[in-house]
Structure 1
């Protein structure tokens, strides 16, 4: 789907969204099963609709069936991403504390970088403890754009 942050590739399997991929995504970042294109897939249609509403400023959260494929640690990080509300940010350290692993900031960063469901599981809302923008699969310009989309007018980056 076309978006203000580039052409996104949506992937579903068995009635669940499994990936939102960036235009120049490293194919090793998210490991996917063999795929076929199905433009009539109801999950993909609904995901496209909800993402379009998000980019238009009319949606603040997503209601989609999600399937996270990763290690138990990665899934624990990704589930926490779903609790970060629109317009808010969290640090890697805060997420490490939330999953009961306060010394695992770097591992949280690595898991965040492998999040297969970018935007929907809002890894763009995770920033450095100093408030600095750090790595993002879609690139820092896309991360800044997403945060600006969500920021109140008095808190623009």
Structure 2
């Protein structure tokens, strides 16, 4: 994993990240557009972590901390690069960020239908909490 480079995304990376998510991420979010990701990077420049190998984007994770909770989103690894430790390295970088910021527990948004992801999250030490259900309200169309 010595050849894997972790770094925060910059404004210049956003189009590449959005294209990457179309290939590597499961599902889509209302915030998966240029404006949404631009706001994320402007508000918290360290939150969107990129994994690169030989200059190529191979993985992402959003490690958002609001001062109260640590939230993980968009853990995605290029399909041709899976099972090489990239996801684990991204989660380790996110967790290090959270600990540095004073976070105590991380939670992840994981699609129910994405059973492959369930195995990866469990292997990383995360477990579902059946007593919680995500409730949402869209503020835009």
TM superposition score normalised by structure 1: 0.27
TM superposition score normalised by structure 2: 0.29
More strand by share: 2
